[in-house]
Chain A
Amino acid sequence: MNHPPDTAAAGNGGTFDPRQAAALLNQTTQQARRKFQPSPPWLLATRAVLVLAALGAIWLSVRGQHPYRGPTAADIPVLIGFIVLNFTATVAVRRRATAGVTGRSRFSQGEIMVLVAAFVATVVAMTALGVAGVSFAWSPTTVLVIPGLAWAAISAARANWVEFGIGLAIAALGVAGAFAGPAGSWAVAAVGLCAVLLGNAAAIVWQQRA
Chain B
Amino acid sequence: MNDDGLDPLIHVPTRLKIVATLAALPDGDTLSFTRLQDMLELTPGNLIIQLRKLEEADYISSEKTRNGSVQKTTVALTKQGREALGAYTQALRNLLGGL
Contact = CB atoms under 8 A, between A and B. Distances in A.
B7 A28 contact: no
Contact of B25 (A12, A28, A99, A105): A105
Interface in A1-29: 1-6, 8-12, 16, 18-22, 24-25, 28-29
Interface stretch (A32-40, A58-66, A113-121): A32-40
Given A3-B9, A10-B13, A101 B96 contact: no
Contacts of A4: 8
Given A18-B92, A21-B92, A22-B92, A28 B6 contact: no
Interface string B18-49: 00110111101111101110010000000000
Given A28-B20, A102-B74, A3 B12 contact: no
A12 B15 CA distance: 12
Interface in A104-141: 104-105
Contacts of B1: 1-2
Given A3-B57, A10-B13, A18-B6, A105 B39 contact: no
A36 B24 contact: yes
Contacts of B16: 21, 24-25, 28
A29 B23 contact: yes
Contacts of A33: 24
Nearest to B84: A1
B12 A32 contact: no
A51 B6 CA distance: 49
A24 B17 CA distance: 7
A21 B93 CA distance: 11
Closest 10 CB pairs of A and B: A100-B35, A103-B29, A100-B32, A32-B24, A11-B13, A28-B20, A32-B21, A11-B14, A3-B9, A28-B17
Interface of A: 1-6, 8-12, 16, 18-22, 24-25, 28-29, 31-33, 35-36, 99-105
Interface of B: 1, 4, 6-9, 11-14, 16-17, 20-21, 23-26, 28-32, 34-36, 39, 57, 74, 84, 89, 92, 95-96, 99
